[in-house]
Amino acid sequence: MSADPTTHFGYKTVATDEKASKVAEVFHSVAAKYDVMNDLMSLGVHRIWKKMTIESAAVRSGQRVLDLAGGTGDLAAAFSRKVGETGQVVLSDINDSMLKVGRSKLADMGILGNVEYVQANAESLPFPDNYFDCITIAFGLRNVTDKQKALESMARVLKPGGRLLVLEFSKPVHKSLSTLYDVYSFTLLPLMGKLIVNDSESYKYLAESIRMHPDQETLKGMMETAGLDNCNYTNMTGGIVALHKGFKF
**For every one of its 249 residues, what pLDDT tens digit does the chain have, with 9 covering 90 and above?**
446 789 998 888 999 999 988 887 888 778 777 878 888 889 899 999 999 999 999 999 999 999 999 988 999 999 999 999 999 999 999 999 999 999 999 999 999 799 999 999 999 999 999 999 999 999 999 999 999 999 999 999 999 999 999 999 999 999 999 999 999 999 998 898 898 888 888 889 989 999 999 999 999 999 999 999 999 999 999 999 999 999 999
Are residues 59 and 83 in contact, defined by beta-carbon separation less than 8 angstroms?
Answer: yes
Domain 6-173+204-247 in CATH: superfamily?
A: Vaccinia Virus protein VP39 (3.40.50.150)
Spatial distance between the Cα atoms of 111 and 134, rounded to a whole number of angstroms: 19
Task: List residues bridging with 244 in a β-sheet.
Answer: 166, 233
Enumerate the domain spans of the chain. Answer: 6-173+204-247
Q: If we measure between CA atoms, which residue out of 187, 195, 184, 197 comes closest to residue 240? A: 184
Q: Around Cβ 201, how many Cβ atoms within 10 Å?
A: 14
Q: If we measure between CA atoms, which residue out of 85, 100, 237, 77 comes closest to residue 170? A: 237
Spatial distance between the Cα atoms of 200 and 146, rounded to a whole number of angstroms: 26
Spatial distance between the Cα atoms of 114 and 81, rounded to a whole number of angstroms: 9
This prediction has a pTM of 0.91
Residues at the binding site for S-adenosyl-L-methionine are 72, 93, 121-122
Residues at the binding site are 72, 93, 121-122
| CA-to-CA separations, 16 to 99, 144, 153, in angstroms, rounded | 24, 11, 18
Name the burial class of residue 52, with classes exposed (0-12), middle (13-18) and buried (19+) by CB atoms within 10 angstroms of its CB: middle
Q: What is the pLDDT of residue 2?
A: 45
Q: What is the pLDDT of residue 3?
A: 60
